[in-house]
Structure 1
C-alpha cells in the first residue's frame, strides 16, 4: 500500500518485469485513489486508471472526451500516490497533436504513472465500446507514438498504443495500424473492441512477435468475455478490467440509498465498520507518524 513517507519502489521497472513474465498481468480499473487502494489490497500487481471511470466519478458524465488532460493527469497523480503497485493510466488521444503528446507524456510521467495509453481517435474521443468513433490518419498517430517515446525521461515508462480501427475501418486496418505503431516504438499494442472470439484470435495471431498485446476485458462491452486461460493461450501480456469496480460501487450505493429512502436508516450489514474503514485508508500509519514526530 502507498506509504505517506514513500518507499524505495520502482513501479516502472516493476511493470516491465511483470509484463515480461508468463502473464498475463491483470490490472483492474480504478477511478480514484480509494478504488486504487482496494485493487492493491486485493492482491493485484497493477492498477489501471480508467478514463471512463474517471469521467464518471469526476463529473458524472459519459466518456465522450469531456475531461481535459489536466483533469486526467490530476487523477493519475492521486492514484499513483495512493499505491505502491504500478499504475497504467489512460491518456485518451494525448489531447492534441504530437506536440501536445510530448507535454502529456511528461505530465503523466511527473504524476508517477508506470504506463500511459494513447489512442488513435479524433478528439473529442469516445469510449472504445461506444458507437460514433472517428480515427485520425495512421501517419498522424504514428507521429504521436514517436513523440510519446521521445518525450519520456524514464526509459522504463511503458507506452501503450491503442487503435480503435476495428469498429471504424475493420480488423485489417487495425492490424496495419498496430504494426505501424509498433514500428514507431510502442511497447504494447492495444487493438480495441473486436466483437468475436475469432477476431480476438486473428488479432493475437497476426501480431504475435510484433509487440506484447493488451486485452480489454470491458465489462458489458462489445468484446466477448474470455477466460483467463484462453487469454493466456492467445499470448496477451496485459488484461485490463476497466469498469468493474465502478459498476460495483454504483450498484452498492444505489442499493444502500434505496433502502435508506424506504426505511429511514442505512443498512449496515455487510459494510465495513468505521474502524475497519479507517484502517483501510491508513489511519494506523498516520497515528504512528504523529507519535514519531511528536515534540
Structure 2
C-alpha cells in the first residue's frame, strides 16, 4: 500500500531517517528516482533511500543541466517522491540557487517538501555536470559561507558539501576545500569526478572518519565500480544519479520509433508494464478501497420539520 494512505507513515523527519541509515556499517546505496513512480519501483526493489539528480530533473523537463531549474521546480519533484515512497531522498542542490540567503531558502524549501539530505557544490553559474570540462570554481571561502548558511537554516536535513576541485586544483586542492567545508558545518563530503581507484582511495585516506559520497554515473570520468568496491575504498554512500532516466529515455525513443515504423505498438508489448502491474505499483485498488470507506452517500429521508 502506498505511504500516502498507509497507517505506518514515518514519524521521524526524513533527515533523521537518512542519518540513521548512515549509522549502519554498510554503504548506503541510492539509485536515482526523480519521479513518484520511479521512487515506488526503487522501493519495491529494496532500496531504503533515493537520490534526486538535478540533471535528471532538468532533462525530464527538456532542459540542459546548466542551473536553469528553480527551487520550486525541485521542491515539486521532492514532494511527489516523498509522498509516493516515504523514503528519505538526497537531493541535488546545485550551487544553492544564489548566495547565502538563497541557500537558506533552498534548505527550508527542500526540508519542508520532504527531503532527507541535500548536497551543495562549489561551482559558479552557469554550472556544469561535474564530469564535463571547463568547470568554474567558486572561491572556497564563498562556498564555505554557503555551507554555514545551510547549516544555520536546516532543522534535520543532512548536509553534504560537493567539491569539483580535483580536476583543476588536484587532490591537494580538493582535500583543502573539503576540510574547510567540514569546518563550516558540512556533515559529509562529495568529491566529484575522480578518475581512478587510487584517487578515490587517496581522498578517503586523507579524510579519516568523514562520511564520503561516491558518484557512479555512466559515460563520465569515473570508471565503473560496484557499491562493494566503493565501500572497500572508504565510501559511506553511492549514487547512480541518471541511470533510470537513461534507460527510460532509450525505451521511449524505441517506442516512438516503433509506432512510427509499424503503425502501432504491437512489437513493444512484451516490454511494457501491463495495466495490472501499473495499478499494483501505484496502489490503485488501495486508493479505490479507501475512497469507498470515506465517501458515503447519505440520502435525505424527508424534509426537516419546520419550526414556527
TM-score in terms of structure 2 length? 0.91
Displacement, 1:153? 2.2
Give the Cα–Cα distance (whole angstroms) in 2 for the partners of residues 225 and 179 of structure 1: 27
Aligned pairs (5 A) from 1:48-127:
48-58=51-61, 60-127=62-129
Are the equivalent residues in 1 in contact too, given 2:56–2:242 (CA < 8 A)?
Answer: yes
Q: String of CA shifts for 1:77-125, please: whole Å, max 9, x gaps.
A: 2222221111111111111111111111111111110101111110221
Are the equivalent residues in 2 in contact too, given 1:29–1:245 (CA < 8 A)?
Answer: yes
Displacement, 1:51? 0.6
- How many residues are paired up? 291
Are the equivalent residues in 1 in contact too, given 2:213–2:235 (CA < 8 A)?
Answer: yes
Correspondence for 1:230? 229
Correspondence for 2:139? 137
Correspondence for 2:238? 239
Q: Residue 21 of structure 1 is aligned with which of 24, 46, 53?
A: 24
Displacement, 1:143? 0.9
Residues 1:278 and 2:275 are matched in the alignment: no
Are the equivalent residues in 2 in contact too, given 1:23–1:236 (CA < 8 A)?
Answer: no
Secondary structure of 1:30 counterpart: coil
Q: Residue 39 of structure 2 is aligned with which of 36, 40, 52?
A: 36
Are the equivalent residues in 1 in contact too, given 2:123–2:135 (CA < 8 A)?
Answer: yes
Correspondence for 1:196? 196
Give the Cα–Cα distance (whole angstroms) in 2 for the partners of residues 205 and 270 of structure 1: 45
Displacement, 1:229? 2.5
* Greater shift in the superposed pair: 69-78 or 282-291: 69-78
Give the Cα–Cα distance (whole angstroms) in 2 for the partners of residues 230 and 85 of structure 1: 25
Correspondence for 1:208? 208
Unaligned ranges ≥5, structure 1:
none
Q: String of CA shifts for 1:4-36, please: whole Å, max 9, x gaps.
A: 236134232221111111121000011222212
Q: String of CA shifts for 1:181-222, please: whole Å, max 9, x gaps.
A: 11111111001001122111111111122x200000112211
Are the equivalent residues in 2 in contact too, given 1:215–1:236 (CA < 8 A)?
Answer: yes
Give the Cα–Cα distance (whole angstroms) in 1 for the partners of residues 105 and 273 of structure 2: 41
Displacement, 1:269? 0.8
Q: String of CA shifts for 1:24-60, please: whole Å, max 9, x gaps.
A: 10000112222122111111011100111000002x1
Secondary structure of 2:181 counterpart: helix
Unaligned ranges ≥5, structure 2:
297-308
Q: String of CA shifts for 1:132-178, please: whole Å, max 9, x gaps.
A: 21111000111111111110123xx2001001111222221111001
Residues 1:172 and 2:186 are matched in the alignment: no
Give the Cα–Cα distance (whole angstroms) in 1 for the partners of residues 259 and 240 of structure 2: 31
Give the Cα–Cα distance (whole angstroms) in 2 for the partners of residues 234 and 81 of structure 1: 34
* Greater shift in the superposed pair: 179-188 or 67-76: 67-76
Give the Cα–Cα distance (whole angstroms) in 2 for the partners of residues 62 and 171 of structure 1: 29
Root-mean-square deviation (Å): 1.4
Displacement, 1:2? 4.3
Are the equivalent residues in 2 in contact too, given 1:117–1:162 (CA < 8 A)?
Answer: yes
